[in-house]
Amino acid sequence: MAVVYEFVWRMLHALLHLQRTLLSWNWRLWRRAMTAVLVPTVFGFQNHPHNNKKLIPTGGKKSCCRVLWKSDGKSLEKLPLHIGLLIAEEETRYTDIANLVVWCMAVGISYVSVYDNQGIFRRNSSRLMDEILKQQQELLGLDSLKYSVEFLNNSNDKPEQQVLSCQATVKVLSPDDGKTGIVTAAQKFCQLVEQQQKRSSDLDVNMLDSMLRGTKGMPDPDLVMKFGTVDSTLGFLPWHIRLTEIM
């Protein structure tokens, strides 16, 4: 009897895997169009007459795209302040991520975090930064001067560019910023206790929160967009995603 159950189980999973594979093929074929639509529709809390399928950035339509993005952003009732991009895919596609970051900026999101489970983006953060700047030029053209991107590195707290209007902050994260960050904060507090500068009972949620937020003080992510087939946060900033919507 167990053999029968196992056989049925295998059939069921084969079907589900097939369904997933077909969907992902479809996805790859219409990737450009789909992602171009997906970004405004994910943000869109109301129907918008300009929310058309023509948001694929091609030559002559660039200027009207930018105008559309700006008006898309303004027409939304509520924009997330901080968006997290959780990349759970096998391949790392720098250009696509850079595109996403630039779109977020164009729509008016102030903070964008990029995270992957293996810390690949963290290790190659300068490559990602270059890619973002390149895409910013390509997609936003003349307007790109108005958008300044501040890249946050954990090592230096100084902003890399001056603050101008429409400023966005991009941070690249890895699992080291999650649980390891909490452990480091815990060690620091314990050192203060050892030196008798604090008592263990002095610690409360707000104190730990400010220790984890650090000097830059980015707000908690309002929205995390997950890319890939894995249904998990994979270690993305456990402390900060208390009230974050996960899609």
Partner 1 sequence: MSSTEQSKTKLNQTPTTQRMSWIHKGELTLIERLSANILKAGPMPKHVAFIMDGNRRYARKLHVERQQGHTQGFDKLAETLRWCLNLEIREVTVYAFSIENFKRAKDEVDGLMELARQKFSRLLDEQEDLEKHGVCIRVLGDLTLLPLDIQKLIAQAVLATKHHNKCFLNVCFAYTSRHEITNAVKEAAWGVEQGLIKPSDVSEFLLDECLYTNNSPDPDLLIRTSGEVRLSDFLLWQTTYSCLVFQSILWPEYSFWNLCEAILQYQLNHQALQKARDQHAEARVLQQLEADRCCAADLLQQTGLGKPVDPQLRQEALQKYTAEREERVHSFLTALQEKRDRFFTDLNKGFIASAKA
Per CB under 8 A, residues contacting partner 1 are 1-2, 5-6, 8-10, 12-13, 16-17, 20, 117-118, 175, 178-180, 182-183, 185-187, 189-191, 193-194, 198-201, 203-205, 208-209, 229-236, 238-239, 241-247
As a residue count, the chain comes to 247
Q: How far is the CB of 187 from partner 1 (least distance, A)?
A: 5
**Nearest CB to partner 1, comparing residues 16 and 56:** 16
**Smallest separation, CB 165 to partner 1 (Å):** 32
Question: Contacts from 30-36 at CB under 8 Å and sequence distance 24+?
Answer: 32/56, 35/96, 35/99, 35/100
Q: Given the complex with partner 1, which of 144 and 233 has the nearer CB atom?
A: 233
**CB 154, min distance to partner 1, A:** 16
Question: Can you count the helices (H) and strands (E) in the chain?
Answer: 8, 6
Note every long-range contact of 149-156, with CB atoms under 8 Å and residues 24 or more positions apart, other chains counting: 149/105, 151/125, 152/216, 152/218, 153/125
Residue with Cβ nearer partner 1 (95 or 197): 197
Q: At closest approach, how far in Å is the CB of 66 from partner 1?
A: 31
Task: Measure the CA–CA gap between 136 and 159, rounded to whole angstroms.
Answer: 18
- Residue 138 or residue 209: which is nearer to partner 1 going by CB? 209
- By beta-carbon proximity to partner 1, the closer residue of 71 and 197 is 197
CB of 194 to partner 1, least distance (A): 5
The residues, ordered by sequence, that sit 6+ positions from 241 with a Cβ below 8 Å of its Cβ are 84, 220, 221, 224, 233
We find the least distance from the C-beta atom of residue 9 to partner 1, in angstroms, to be 4
**Which residue number, 159 or 238, has a Cβ lying nearer to partner 1?**
238
* Backbone dihedral angles phi then psi of residue 147, each to the nearest 5 degrees: -100, 115
**Dist CA 68 CA 218 (whole Å):** 28
Kindly state the DSSP code that residue 28 receives in the 8-state scheme.
H
